[in-house]
Structure formats: C-alpha cells, structure tokens
Chain A
Amino acid sequence: MIIENIILAVQELATLKTLALMAVGTVAGLIAGAIPGFTIAMAVVLTLPFTFGMPPAQGLATMIGVFVGGLSGGLMSGILIGIPGTPSSVATTFDGFPMARGGNPGLALGLGVWSSFFGGIISAVLLVTLAPQLARIGLEFQPWDYFALIMFALTIAASLAGENLIKGLIAAAFGLLVATIGEDSINGIARFNFGSDALKQGFDFLPVLIGLFAFSQLLSDIEDRVRARKALTETGSVSARIEHRKAAIQVLKNWINLIRSSFIGVFTGILPAAGSTISNILAYDQAKKASKTPEKFGTGHAEGIVAPESANNATAGGALITMMALGIPGDIVTAVMLGALLIHDVIPSPSFISDTPVLAYAIFIAFFVANFLMLILQSGALRLFVLVTKVRMYILASIILAYCGIGIFALNNVTFDMWTLFWFGIVGYVMRNLGFPLAPMILGVVLGRIAELWLSRATAISTEITPFFTHPWSLFFIILSVFSLFFSAYQTQRGRKTWTLFFTPALLAMLSIPMFMMIGTVRPVLGGVLLAASAYLIFKLHRRGWKVDPSDADGHRLTEG
C-alpha cells in the first residue's frame, strides 16, 4: 500500500512541468531569502497566487521549493555582506561573515550550502518516519484535546514572539476575534458585520495574512527614505565561487554537530509557532557549548556555520510534521501552506495522511527533491543574487506591492479581498510599529475557526469544564500552555531569580501527570522518566545549594520574530 502510494505520488511529481516549477520556486526562494528584509514567509505568501490553478501536489511542491530555497538563501547575504537575508540565518553570520572576510568566502558558502542540504535531508527522513506516527497519536485526540492544543499553539507563539508577553497574547486573541467576523461556520449566523453585506462573508485568511505580513513588512523596509533608495551592493562586496568538495568533506567531518543541530531544527519545527528563527540560534549555542574550541566561535569557525545552517533547514521538516500530522501550522510558512491545502478542499487533520496518502507522500518526496534542487541551483542563484542586489529597495518594494494586489485578486476574483489586504496592511504596519508581534495574530486568524469548531463539539458532548482536565492530552497541552505563559519571564530572569531554578523540574513533573493517565505501558513509563528527570534536577539544585548560576543569563533569548 505504501509502495503504491509512493509510486502514485512520484507519478504526480515526476512531470517536467512540476520539476520546472519546483526549480523556479527554489531559485525564487534562494533569491528572496538572500535579500535582507524579504523573509521566507513573504516569498511563500507571494508564490501562493500562482498555485491556485495548479493541482494540489504541484502547488505544494512549488511552495516547498520556495520554502527550502528561502531557508538556504539567507546564508548568501549573511556570509557575503554580513546582513542575514532572513532571521533564520542570523547565527550563520556570526562565523560566516568573518570567514568570508578572512579570505574564504567560497568555503564559507560551501559549508552553508552543504550543511543546509544535509540538514534538510536528515529532517526529510524524520518527516517521513515521524509524521505518520504523530498522526496516529493525533487520531486519539478528542475535541477537548484539540482545543487545548490550539490554545497551546497560541500561548507559545505569544511567549516566543517578543519582549512583551501581554502584547503577544493580545495579538493572538485579536487574531481569534478577526476570525469570528462574518458568518459562523457552525450555525451560519452573521457576526460583527456592522450592517455590511461584504463583511457577512468574513475575511478570507490569505488576504489578511498577506496584508498583515507581506504588505506591512514591505512598508517597514522602505520606511527610511535614504535606505529605500540604496541597493544592497553598496554595503559590501558580493562575489565568490562556492568550494563544494572541500566544504562537503568538512561538513561530514563535523557529523556530530550536523546531526545534533538537525535534530534541534526538527524538534523546534515540530513545536507550534517556533521556527527557524529560534532553531539556528539554539543550534549555534549548543554547538559552542559542545565544542572543544568554543573560543574560536565568532572568528570564522566552520562549526559555527554548520550548526545554524543545518538547523534552519531541518526546521522545515519539523514544521511540516506538525502541519501534516495534526493540522496545526508549525510556523507562518506552514500556515500559508495550510491555506493552500484549504483552497484545494484538503483539510489538514490527523487523518490527512491516511485520507490523502498520495498528496502526503507527494509532500514528503517534494521535500526531498527540493533539497537536491537547492544544492544544484545555489551556484546559479548566487549569480542572480549579485544582479538582484544591484536593484534599489524601493523598486523591488513597489513592484511587489502591486503584485500583492494582483495575486490576492486571483484568489476569489473579488476586489473585496484587495481591500482586506489594504486594511490589514495598515493594521500590520501599525502593530509592528507599536511592538505587537504579528506571528501570534496570524496564528489566531488561521486557527480561530478551527478552535471554535472544536470548542463547539466539546460543549455539544458535555457542558462541563472538567473534561479539559480529565482527558490526558488536553491536560498535557493545558500544562504546556500555562508554562509557556511563564517562558518569556523565565528567559529574561534565568540566572538571576531563584524561581527560574524550578521552572524545568516543575514542568517535567507536571507533564508526567497526564502521561501516567494515558493508557498502555509506554506512556506511563515515559511519565516515570519525566518524573525521574525532574527529581534528578531537583537533586542537582539541592547539591548546588539552590543557587542561581549567573552564566545561565548569558544564553541567547529565544524569540520567533
């Protein structure tokens, strides 16, 4: 059955048109990822309108090409001009730029490209193996569990989104509120239409998403009149030849670092709302801690390029695992992909892999293929990147602003969507300037209707609140939500305040409770392991005299901006 599905998926993808579209998508992603200020999410968002007329597998394969390309594109500008193309490549700049300035730009690029490739392949293997298993667990979920999972996705997004947790939570709740505008999906009753017939239909979430994210991002990029008129090349020299052979050997010699960083990438991606912005910093941090020569980090050290680049590409696989197995977007990019699936009447849920196995396997295969395409096309994209960097920022921004309008019109062929884009462009820009993170709001808009649906189903079964605490998975996610609310404070106060010492042991001990409540043997045993780990940490703290370690405060603060 699996072989049959794989063959059918290959048949869907192995057409010249699909491969050409994937190649174009990968190059577009590489270029977009390389331009500072143009994020991967924006590149994927802008690709979306082109995919409306394509079959689902072809459209998603193109978007995956952009996604993988974008994750690798950031390294080009990070290494060559010292400005990370995307937040996913921030840590790559720490060692990539010094190596390039030290006279080895080709090797630095090669290390980045090969680390991205291997990181992508490792995460593709994990995607194929873990997604079906996680989906099997997802099938056990009942309405209470689903609702709690969505609440966890929103609270973790809010806590990772910036300095101010309250602003993140307000943004998430505002996103949920925006999703309620228009007819409700359960009873078909109009809400918050303020007498307007157009608002009765509600907002399609893609114009909202593009307005909030892409439109507002573009205007932020050209806010400074002088910077808007500058081309990228004015900030540095951009030319190099990638040293593939030498770099590939060096990356493979760093195999422990490579595998560890890839795993960090995948598991960060699995976490709802946490993406490559976090994973590249986390992997860099861990590589430095584990290195025999930590003092060399920041001076152009190969390990410092391998870790963040393998981690950020591996995050894509993790984000796809959550989307495909649970129907919850792992980050903004997968939120857009979720939207693309909905356009094609495919509803991501735990039964997605079993209901539409050919499409699921097509996504798996496309992810593999995209990593190979990225490797092959990176050298060509580098030349294109050199050309693009000669274009002034305001020219790119003006064309893309117009394109946003044309693309969004193509979604439903109604001008109302263009107005939605415009108004939410203003909302997004104002929110950015006032320090409100956009990621929680976008997740709120995407997940709002799903959350209401599951809550409605839960209340239809029982009007009691207790099932939220008696169902193990629901309790599991509620505990995670509560702890995620304190995660922001934990990050800022660790190494200084005593309470932060108990954060991890308390989390592990609390999570063991729902694990003990689960049926079978494995999960209660896992609960025991969590409890034992918690006891061990408490014992270590006791031996240390309950003293905070000031070196903990030096770690990077994780934010998914």
Chain B
Amino acid sequence: MSRINRDTYIAIFLMVAWCVFLWASFDIRQIDYGTMGAEVWPRGILVILFGLTAVYLFQSIKAGPDVAADEPFTIGNWLRKYQNPLWCYGLYFIFLLTLPVFGMLIGGIALVFCLLTVLGERTPRFLMIHAAVAVISITGMWALFTFALGVILPQGMIFTTL
C-alpha cells in the first residue's frame, strides 16, 4: 500500500504544471504603454494557484495514506475500470485525426458505429442496429447542418473524390 495520498500526487503534478506556466510567462512580451502588462494578470493567477496548491499539498499530507481499495491497483484493473471512457477518447482522437480524409459524414458514421459497437453488445442483430443508428443519426445531423443551417462541414478527401 502506498504511503502517499492520491491527492499528494495530484498536488505535486499541479505544482509542476504551474512551474511550466510560470516559466512560459517569462516569454510574454513586456510592453510599456502605461497599461497593465500582459504578463501581470497570468502571473497573479499563478501566484494564487501556487498558494492554493501548497495548501492542498499540506492538506493531503496531513490526511495520511489512502484507505486501501477493494481491488489492488494494477494496470489491468485500471484499464478494465475505465475501458469505456478510454475507448471513447481513443475513437474520438482517431476521428479527429482522420477528419481531413473521411470528412464529417463518413467519419461521423464510422465514429458512432465504432462507439456503439465497443460500448454495446456485438451480436449480428445489434451490429445491424448500430449500423442503422449510425447512418440515420449522422446523416440526419449532417443534412440539418448542411442544408438547414448552411454550415459547410468538412467533406474529406474520400467524399470529394467520389
């Protein structure tokens, strides 16, 4: 069992993040227009964040180690617990990366179909339902935005060559 509280790790991570921002704040160009400099406000916020995170760190150390969970922490358990969100983020990431190729219509249909398939059941009947839901929902939304709202959604290379 870890002797360090989870909040302590978070507080240390946040401290490092604020240090990165503080370091980046020295790249902000300083001006002398007689107005408040562009670096003043973010540095003020960072000072507050450092103070608050220090209090958070102190609180977390004072609270002592975490109560042992029912299941021991392993990568496998963690992946099992968060598999749905991880799948969603992963698929969304691929959807965004491939958007210039597939466009919003094909990419959107593929995204919804894949999401439904990884989150739901994978029997042939459900695969048919998922395909129908993906096509109807995304085509409907695409048509609404394209024709009713006049938004030019990304077409993608495949759609344009077709």
Given A177-B21, A394-B120, A406-B142, are A189 and B36 also a contact pair (CB < 8 Å)?
no
**A-B CB contacts (within 8 Å), total count:** 160
A403 to B88 alpha-carbon distance, docked (Å): 14
- CB pair A398 B116 closer than 8 Å: yes
Within 8 A of B (CB), among A393-408: 394-395, 397-399, 401-403, 405-406
Task: Tell me which residues across on chain B come within 8 A of A53, comparing CB atoms.
Answer: 149-151
Taking the nearest CB of chain B, how far is it from the CB of A261, in angstroms? 36
Whether, in the assembled complex, B66 has its beta carbon less than 8 Å from a beta carbon of chain A, the answer is no
Task: Tell me which residues across on chain B come within 8 A of A222, comparing CB atoms.
Answer: 84-85, 88, 119
The residue that A52 contacts in the complex, of B46, B92, B96, B149, with Cβ under 8 A, is: B149
Whether, in the assembled complex, B159 has its beta carbon less than 8 Å from a beta carbon of chain A, the answer is no
Interface SS majority for chain A:
helix
Whether, in the assembled complex, A552 has its beta carbon less than 8 Å from a beta carbon of chain B, the answer is no
Given A399-B137, A434-B10, are A173 and B48 also a contact pair (CB < 8 Å)?
yes
Within 8 A of A (CB), among B1-51: 6, 10, 14, 21, 24-25, 28-29, 31, 33-39, 41-42, 45-46, 48-49
Task: Tell me which residues across on chain A come within 8 A of B84, comparing CB atoms.
Answer: 219, 222-225, 228
Whether, in the assembled complex, A255 has its beta carbon less than 8 Å from a beta carbon of chain B, the answer is no
Interface string of B128-162 (1 = CB under 8 A from A): 00000100011001100100011111100000000
- CB pair B41 A180 closer than 8 Å: yes
Whether, in the assembled complex, A413 has its beta carbon less than 8 Å from a beta carbon of chain B, the answer is yes
A401 to B145 alpha-carbon distance, docked (Å): 16
Whether, in the assembled complex, B83 has its beta carbon less than 8 Å from a beta carbon of chain A, the answer is yes
- CB pair A173 B49 closer than 8 Å: yes
> Interface-forming stretch among A4-12, A454-462, A497-505, A516-524?
A454-462
- CB pair B24 A192 closer than 8 Å: yes
B120 nearest CB neighbor, chain A only? A394
The residue that B121 contacts in the complex, of A184, A229, A406, with Cβ under 8 A, is: A229
**Max chain A Cβ within 10 angstroms of own Cβ: one of B21, B53, B85, B89:** B85
Task: Tell me which residues across on chain A come within 8 A of B152, comparing CB atoms.
Answer: 413
B83 nearest CB neighbor, chain A only? A225
Task: Tell me which residues across on chain B come within 8 A of A186, comparing CB atoms.
Answer: 35-36, 38
B56 nearest CB neighbor, chain A only? A166
Whether, in the assembled complex, A301 has its beta carbon less than 8 Å from a beta carbon of chain B, the answer is no
**Max chain A Cβ within 10 angstroms of own Cβ: one of B6, B93, B119:** B119
Given A395-B133, A452-B41, A455-B41, are A410 and B120 also a contact pair (CB < 8 Å)?
no
Whether, in the assembled complex, A415 has its beta carbon less than 8 Å from a beta carbon of chain B, the answer is yes
B33 nearest CB neighbor, chain A only? A187
- CB pair B34 A460 closer than 8 Å: yes
Task: Tell me which residues across on chain B come within 8 A of A173, comparing CB atoms.
Answer: 45, 48-49, 52
Task: Tell me which residues across on chain B come within 8 A of A426, comparing CB atoms.
Answer: 89
Within 8 A of A (CB), among B91-133: 92-93, 95-96, 99, 104, 108, 111-112, 115-116, 119-121, 133
The residue that A166 contacts in the complex, of B45, B59, B121, with Cβ under 8 A, is: B59
Task: Tell me which residues across on chain B come within 8 A of A415, comparing CB atoms.
Answer: 96, 99, 154
Interface string of A203-238 (1 = CB under 8 A from B): 000000000000000110011110011000000000
Whether, in the assembled complex, A372 has its beta carbon less than 8 Å from a beta carbon of chain B, the answer is no
- Other 14 A-B pairs with CB < 8 A, given A398-B112, A425-B89: A177-B45, A180-B41, A186-B36, A187-B33, A222-B88, A223-B81, A225-B83, A394-B115, A398-B119, A402-B115, A410-B153, A418-B99, A429-B85, A459-B35
